[in-house]
Structure 1
Amino acid sequence: MRILGIEGTAWAASASVFETPDPARVTDDDHVFIETDAYAPDSGGIHPREAAEHMGEAIPTVVETAIEHAHERAAGGGANAGGESGPPIDAVAFARGPGLGPCLRIVATAARAVAQRFDVPLVGVNHMVAHLEVGRHRSGFDSPVCLNASGANAHILGYRNGRYRVLGETMDTGVGNAIDKFTRHIGWSHPGGPKVEQHARDGEYHELPYVVKGMDFSFSGIMSAAKQAVDDGVPVDDVCRGMEETIFAMLTEVSERALSLTGADELVLGGGVGQNDRLQRMLGEMCEQRGAKFYAPENRFLRDNAGMIAMLGAKMYAAGDTIAIEDSRIDSNFRPDEVSVSWRGAEESVDSYRTTDKEVQGAEATVRFDGARVIKERVPRSYRHPTLDDRLRTERTRQEARLTSEARRNGVPTPLVRDVDPQEARIVFQRVGDADLREGLSESRVTDVGRWLARIHNAGFVHGDPTTRNVRVGSRDGHPDRTVLIDFGLGYYTQEAEDHAMDLHVLAQSLAGTADDPETLLSAAEDAYRTESDHADAVFDSLDDIEGRGRYQ
Structure 2
Amino acid sequence: MARSRPLRILGIEGTAWAASAAVFETTDPTRRTDDERVEIYTDAYEPDSGGIHPREAAEHMHESIPEVVAQARETAREWADERGGDDAIDAVAFSRGPGLGPCLRIVATAARATAQRFDVPLVGVNHMVAHLEIGRHRSEFASPVCLNASGANAHVLGYRNGRYRVLGETMDTGVGNAIDKFTRHLGWSHPGGPKVEARAKDGEFLDLPYVVKGMDFSFSGIMSAAKQAVDSGEAVEDVCFGLQEHVFAMLTEVSERALSLTGSGQLVLGGGVAQNERLREMLASMCEQRGAEFYAPEPRFLRDNAGMIAVLGAKMYEAGDTIAIEDSRIDSNFRPDQVPVTWREEEDWTADGDSVRLGTSSRDDSVRLGSDSRDDSVRLGNDSRNKSAHVDALQGAEATVTIEDGTVTKRRNPRAYRHERLDSRLRRERTRLEARLTSQARRVGVPTPILEDVDPERGLLVFERVGDADLRDDPAERHVRAVARHLATIHDAGFVHGDPTTRNVRIERAASDDRRYLIDFGLGYFTDDPEDYAMDLHVFDQSLTGTADNSESLIAAARGAYRTASSAPEPVLDSLREIEGRGRYQ
TM-score w.r.t. length of structure 1:
0.97
SS in 1 for 2:414: coil
Mapped pair 1:399 → 2:468: no
State how 1:114-153 maps to structure 2 within 5 Å: 114-153=114-153
8 Å CA contact 2:41, 2:72 repeated in 1: yes
Match of 1:541 in 2: 574
Q: How many residues align?
A: 546
Distance 1:6 1:351, change over 3 A: farther
CA distance, structure 1, for counterparts of residue 405 and residue 558 of structure 2: 32
Q: What is the SS of the residue equivalent to 2:24?
A: strand
C-alpha separation in 1, matches of 2:513 and 2:548: 24
- Equivalents in 2 of 1:444, 1:397: separation in Å? 30
Aligned AA (1:438): R
Aligned amino acid, residue 56 of structure 1: H
- AA at the equivalent of 1:14: S
TM-score normalised per structure 2: 0.92
Matches within 5 A, 1:34-433: 34-76=40-82, 81-84=83-86, 87-349=87-349, 351=351, 353-354=353-354, 356-433=390-467
CA distance in 2, matches of 1:144, 1:352: 16
Structure 1: distance between partners of 2:143 and 2:155:
16
Cα deviation, residue 528, structure 1: 1.3
C-alpha distance in 1 between matches for 2:557 and 2:77:
58
Q: In the superposition, relative to structure 1, how do residues 332 and 197 fare at CA in structure 2: closer, same or farther (>3 Å)?
A: same
User: Separation in 2 of the partners of 1:353 and 1:258?
Assistant: 15
One-letter code aligned to 2:319: A
Report the alpha carbon displacement of residue 82 of structure 1 after superposing the two structures with TM: 1.7
Tell whether 2:535 aligns with 1:502: yes
Q: CA deviation at 1:453?
A: 0.3
SS in 2 for 1:427: strand
Instruction: Assess if the C-alpha contact under 8 Å between 1:404 and 1:414 holds in 2.
Output: yes
1:534: how far off? 1.2
Residue in structure 2 matched with residue 489 of structure 1 by the alignment: 522
Residue in 2 aligned with 1:529? Answer: 562
> SS at the partner of 1:412?
coil
Residue type at the aligned position of 2:43 = D
> What is the alpha-carbon distance in structure 1 between the residues aligned to residue 297 and residue 477 of structure 2?
41
Can you list the C-alpha shifts for 1:340-379, whole angstroms capped at 9, x where unaligned?
1110121334755546443111011000001110000000
Q: Which amino acid aligns with 1:23?
A: P
Does the 8 A contact of 1:261 with 1:353 survive in 2?
A: no
CA–CA distance in 2 between the matches of 1:218 and 1:411? Answer: 31
* Paired letter, 2:164: Y
1:391 and 1:431 mapped to 2: Cα distance? 27
Q: What RMSD, in angstroms, separates the aligned Cα atoms of the two structures?
A: 1.1
Q: Is the 8 A contact 1:351 1:513 kept in 2?
A: no
Deviations 1:397-446 (A, max 9, x none): 00000000000000000000000001110000010001111101111111
Whether the aligned pair in 1 keeps the contact of 2:505 and 2:518 (CA below 8 Å) is yes
Correspondence for 1:511 among 528, 537, 544: 544
Shift in CA distance, 353/174, structure 1 to aligned 2, threshold 3 Å: farther
CA contact (8 A) 1:262 1:353 kept: no
Distance in 1, Cα, partners of 2:178 & 2:88: 42
| Contact 1:18-1:310 at 8 Å conserved across structures | yes
TM superposition shift of 1:481: 3.0
Contact 2:264 2:349 in 1 (8 A): no
3-state SS, counterpart of residue 147 of structure 2:
strand
Q: Deviations over 1:518-550 (max 9, x none)?
A: 111112211111111111001001101111112
Identical residues among aligned pairs (%): 73
CA distance in 2, matches of 1:330, 1:180: 26
Judge conservation of contact 2:156–2:166 (CA < 8 Å) in 1.
yes
| Consecutive unaligned residues in structure 1, runs of 5 or more | none
Partners of 1:475 and 1:308 lie apart in 2 by 46
- Structure 1 residues 184-241: Cα deviation after superposition (integer angstroms, max 9, x where no partner): 0000000000000000010001111000000000000011000010000101100000
Q: Distance in 2 between matches of 1:484 and 1:522?
A: 19
Cα distance in 1 for partners of 2:325, 2:544 equals 37
Unaligned runs of 5+ in 2: 1-6, 355-388
Structure 1 residues 350 and 44 mapped into 2: Cα distance closer, same or farther (>3 Å)? farther
- Asked whether the 8 Å contact 1:163–1:341 carries over to 2, the reply is yes
Return closer, same or farther for 1:14/1:21 CA change in 2, 3 Å cut-off. Answer: same
Q: Which amino acid aligns with 1:488?
A: F
C-alpha distance in 1, partners of 2:119/2:475?
50
Give the Cα separation in 2 of the matches to 1:383 and 1:45: 30
Structure 2 letter corresponding to 1:186: L
